[in-house]
Amino acid sequence: MDRPESQSNPFESTPDFDLSDLGTSDPDGNMSAPDNGSRRSRQTLEKLEALGNALPEDGSTVTRLPLQPFDTNPYRDHPPRNTRPSNVTPFPRRDRPKPPERTTTSPSNPVERLKNLSTEALRALRWQWPDPRSISPSRMRVLMVGMILFGGTGLLSWRLFTLQVLQAAELQAKAKGYQELTITPFVPRRSIVDHRGTVLALDRRAYTLYAHPSLFKERPGDIAEKLAPVVDMSTDELMRIFAKGKTGLRLRNRLSEDTASRVRSLNTDGLELVQQASRVYPQQELMADVLGYTDLDSKGQAGLELRWQKLLQRKADPLKFERSSSGVILASPGQGDDDQPQQLTYLDDLKLKLTLDSRLQRAARLALDQTMDQYKAKKATAIVMDARTGALRVLANAPTYDPNRYFDADVANFRNWAVADLYEPGSTFKPLVVAAALESKKIEPTETFNDPGAIQIFDRLIKNYGYPRIPGRGTVSVEDIIQYSSNVGMVRISQRFKPAEFYDWLQRMGLGDKSGVDLPFETASQVRSRAKFLRSPVDRATNAFGQGFSVTPLQLVQMMGTLANGGELVTPHVVEGLMTDDNQPYWQPYRSQPTRLFSKITTTQVVEMMESVVQSGTAKAAQIPGYRIAGKTGTSQKIGSGGVYRKGAIIASFVGILPASNPRYVVAVIVDEPQGGSGGKVAAPPAKMIMETLIALERIPPDAKK
């Protein structure tokens, strides 16, 4: 930039010039005439000459620099310097302090030399403000500009590579979000109706109200005051929620359409209504155990809603449109004009129809509630099954819950006891053992047995109910054994079987398996393992009167169903199928073929024996005038912790079959831990109530007197 004026020694000042000064880049590089050549070129020339002079004259190997061609510059496009008018003085040179004359003899003292050197170096290094009028155009400067431009191009190429390769997928997905409008139409979950078409569950539009305090344009206090009466919440309550966060605060769930429109009419920023489906159960807790409930996202959480989630949740394909930023929906390529309206309007109207009868169910629930109150029982269940098909007409538990307000319910009530819990069936199982013995010809219907009231089996004394208060009845018929529920008689009958044969029978009845009902969370019944059963005569004896194994109430009903339908083991079920609007079946679930256990003769014989139980045995409370009803009571002790029977903790049960003349329905009532009483006393009366309603609803004609 800055050039010292003096060059005392050409060797010393070599960096002060470069040959490019003589080059063609200099606009005023005319050196032909020393008087009008440029100052700088002239200086350079002088330097070169000094350099040349310094070279040895005699050294012919040294080529002198060809100075002459540089002298005339044909590439000049500016007038030479001397054309400047004389009144314009060339800009003044900045006077620089001349470097001190270098002494030929350097000081002998090295410290002094160093001092000298440092002063010179400092002088040389002293920065001077360059002359703003000086200019040194060179090709390097153009190359610098080029480097800046090409550097920019390179950076942009890298940026493009990042965007179009590395982030391409992410950006494409984001762009799709802007370009496509996905509408998920409000598709209500399928309704559920009962056997007679009464609506049990349906979907309704509901709204969840959210608050976003960060978007509030008014004071939160004002908003809370305005909102409180609409959503039925107190101002304080709202303010407390507003204080919780900045955005996404849920104020209320399941607002009705009416309330939602009132919230909308407040025209307040920062409130958001999110539309959703809300499941409504008009019959409230009536069918709760069967239906279950759905959560806020319309996902089934229990019962049929869970088991048949896929069936109930209608598939609503989200509709995709391309849209512009202004919200205009654009026609998308590949989709015909007629497709979309169809897509929008098509909605089937199939309903899920159940076999349950809500009127009968209501009667059953009433009866159960009464019994629960009367005997302060822990829980109770009632089941009515059409034994010909396995269709359940009633499946009621007490206590239960309201699926509309499942969030308030006791979690324990979500468990459907009738299918999920096991108990020892006790005496209600006896008719099945008798049927098995008759079927395999181990006994004759007319045969008699000796009942001393108690019998020693291996290390255990097996007693009748009430023994020794009620002494042994001596010689008893098979019918008597059932009528008086004789444990000893049942042990005698079971002893006719070979152990393995007896076990086979238990297995064929379904012990150890599930009933296969179309409800979730079913538990399999439990029975001794074959090896243990064959080893233990006590097990064989107790199993004969319904102890030592456990079943679900529903499975007992299933097994009793064999007696009511002429010997076939059917699969109990609650779902009849999907029905069209005009009640035509559209789809029905697959059901396995029933397996035959007994012949019709056997079951008729056993049902007749069971009739005597209601007529004159333990279940007189279930008598209905004019109707022949077969039944069997059971009073089993509950097993507490440690496998010991708990004193006073009983399960009272009654299983009835009606009409006995032409058996069809199995009615079971099972009461858990009633305070006192027995099967006949506790469970038979509600069963009678249910059967009365059943007779009325199904219009069962009275029987001729036997």
Partner 1 sequence: MGWWRSLRQFRKNIKGWAAEARVLRWLTLLWIVLGWAVLLSASYASADLAYGDGLYYCKRQLIWIGIGLVLMQVIAVVPLRVWLRGAPWAVMCALVVLWGLLIPGVGYEVNGAVRWVLVGSVPIQPSELLKPMLVLHSAMALGQWDRLRDRQRWFWLGSVAIALIGILLQPNLSTASLCGISLWLVSLAAGLPLTYLWGTALGGGLLAVISISLRSYQQRRIIAFLNPWADPQGNGYQLVQSLMAIGSGGVWGTGFGLSKQKLANLPIQYTDFIFSVYAEEFGLVGSLLLLGLIAVYGGVGLWVAVKTQSVTVRLVATGSVVFLVGQSLLNVGVATGGLPTTGLPLPFFSYGGSSMLASCILAGLLTRAARESAAPVATFPRQSGGSKNNGFKNNGFKNSDIKNNGSKKASQSAARQFFP
Query: Look-up: residue for tokens 């831990």?
Result: 673
Cα dihedral sign, 466-470-474-480: negative
Specify the residue, 145 or 531, whose C-beta has the smaller distance to partner 1. 145
Asked if 93 interacts with partner 1 (CB under 8 A), we say no
Residues 32 and 24: their CA atoms lie apart, in Å, by 14
- String of contacts with partner 1 for each residue 170-209, x by CB under 8 A: xxx-xx--xx------------------------------
Residue 55 structure tokens: 């070279």
Burial grade of 84 (CB within 10 A; 0-12, 13-18, 19 or more)? exposed
Least distance between partner 1 and beta carbon 126 (Å):
15
Q: How far apart are CA 35 and CA 82, in angstroms?
A: 9
CB-wise, 107 or 152, nearer to partner 1? 152
Q: Which stretch binds partner 1 (CB under 8 A): 141-149, 244-252, 439-447, 596-604?
A: 141-149
137 contributes a contact to partner 1 by CB under 8 A:
yes
Rounded CA separation 244/238 (Å): 10
DSSP secondary structure letter of residue 551: B
| Smaller CB separation from partner 1, 33 or 274 | 33
537 binds partner 1 (CB under 8 A): no
Tell whether residue 25 is a contact of partner 1 (CB under 8 A): yes
**Binding-residue pattern over the window 277 to 296 for partner 1, x denoting contact by CB under 8 A:** --------------------
Q: Binding residue for partner 1 (CB under 8 A) from 66, 132, 334, 648?
A: 132
Q: Which of 82, 109, 157, 182 binds partner 1 (CB under 8 A)?
A: 157
Which parts of 312-341 interact with partner 1 (CB under 8 A)? Answer: 322, 324-326, 328, 330
Distances (CA, A) of 306 to 6, 295, 302, 404, 414: 102, 10, 5, 15, 12
- 485 as an active site residue: the answer is no
Cβ–Cβ < 8 Å for 536, 634: no
- The single residue among 161, 458, 586, 587 that binds partner 1, judged by CB under 8 A, is 161
* Cα dihedral 107→108→114→116 (10° resolution): 0
Residue 135 touches partner 1, criterion: CB under 8 A? yes
Query: What minimum distance in Å lies between the beta carbon of 155 and partner 1?
Result: 7
CB atoms within 10 A of CB 290: 30
Evaluate whether 401 touches 413 at the Cβ level (below 8 Å). Answer: yes
Q: Among 609, 590, 382, which residue's Cα sits nearest to residue 486?
A: 609
Q: Which of 19, 54, 64, 75 binds partner 1 (CB under 8 A)?
A: 75
Pick between residue 155 and residue 500 the one whose CB is nearest to partner 1: 155
Give least dist CB 130 to partner 1, A.
4
**Of the candidate residues 131, 339, 348, 581, the single one contacting partner 1 (CB under 8 A):** 131
d(CA 636, CA 333): 72
Site size for partner 1 (CB under 8 A): 62
Q: Which residue in 139, 204, 240, 596 binds partner 1 (CB under 8 A)?
A: 139
What are the backbone dihedrals phi and psi of residue 98, each rounded to the nearest 5 degrees, phi first?
-75, 140
214 binds partner 1 (CB under 8 A): no
- CA 9 from centre of chain: 91
Angle at 202 between CA 197 and CA 205, to 5 degrees: 150
- Interatomic CA distance for residues 429 and 73, integer angstroms: 127
- Between 59 and 69, whose beta carbon lies closer to partner 1? 69
Q: 41, 298, 358, 427: which one is catalytic?
A: 427
SS3 522: coil
526 binds partner 1 (CB under 8 A): no
E-only strand ranges, 213-318: 249-255, 271-280
405 binds partner 1 (CB under 8 A): no
Of positions 14, 54, 81, 257, contacts partner 1 by CB under 8 A:
81
124, 125, 145, 411: which one binds partner 1 (CB under 8 A): 145
What is the C-alpha separation between 581 and 589, in angstroms, rounded? 18
Enumerate binding residues for partner 1 (CB under 8 A): 1, 24-25, 27, 30, 74-81, 83-84, 88, 129-139, 141-146, 148-150, 152-153, 155-157, 159-161, 163-165, 167-168, 170-172, 174-175, 178-179, 322, 324-326, 328, 330
Residues forming the active site: 427
